[in-house]
Amino acid sequence: MKEKILIVTGGSRGIGRQIAMSALEAGWRVAVSYKFNKTSANELVQKSNGRAKAFPLDLLDSETICPFFSDVCKEMGVPSALVNAAGIDPGPVKIGELTSPFIVEMMTVNVTGLMLCCDAFLNQLRENNATHGASIVNISSMASTIGGRAGKTVYAASKGAVDVFTVGLAKEVAAEKVSAFSVRPGVTITDMTEKLLSNPENATKIKSSIASQEMAKPLDIAEPVIDLISGRFAYASGSLINLGGGGFVF
């Protein structure tokens, strides 16, 4: 494969980091965004033999989004694919205890930020007449299929919005030969879930709710994503892909 450029938002940690690493192994050049994890992002860059670069991005500040994509294009070239892996999950908050700041932050990062990243990416492709064959993968969650686990209603709602947006996005850009997918991981073993899964009772309960009785590893999510951005599944654009170990038992 001729080297193409992939942008991974949230590529300094968790699922995003593994997607970036897997893409490098598959022959891509990779631009990763970071907010707090600059050290982790730089470690990935150092191991890439010059094929990855890290750029700052804060999805709570929409003014950073267009400059991020512009900097990637200036320093690396026109990208061919975007994976929106940046997102937050501050933890469970039950109905009756919700606050406006909690909801606004969740929606700003997980929904508004993702939408604006797609918009900026597509505008960049259009400016360079490079839409043909491009791909977008939005990382959603299996939470969107059940309304979330206890206290995770707002998180599930944010991911439900990602799913609906992705379907509409795929329709809008189909004529430009751009494909768009929503990938829904189940509970995945990352630093984001470390606190939750450190409690053996929680880990056992979650495993029992998954058909395969296993939680995902980041590589379980990254490998299908790399396939989706390859271009081989362009006709499946608009698909919502469940990566949940067979789904929820209850």
CA distance 80 to 240: 21
Torsion of CA 51, 38, 125, 110, to 10 degrees: 140
Q: Which value, in Å, is the radius of gyration of the alpha carbons in the chain?
A: 17
Strands 135-139 and 81-84, by their bridges, are parallel
State the DSSP H helix or E strand holding residue 30, giving kind and residue range, or none if neither.
strand 29-34
Is 235 annotated as catalytic? no
Active-site hit among 55, 69, 155, 165 = 155
Cα angle for residues 64, 37, 21 (degrees, 5° grid):
100
- Residues marked as catalytic: 155
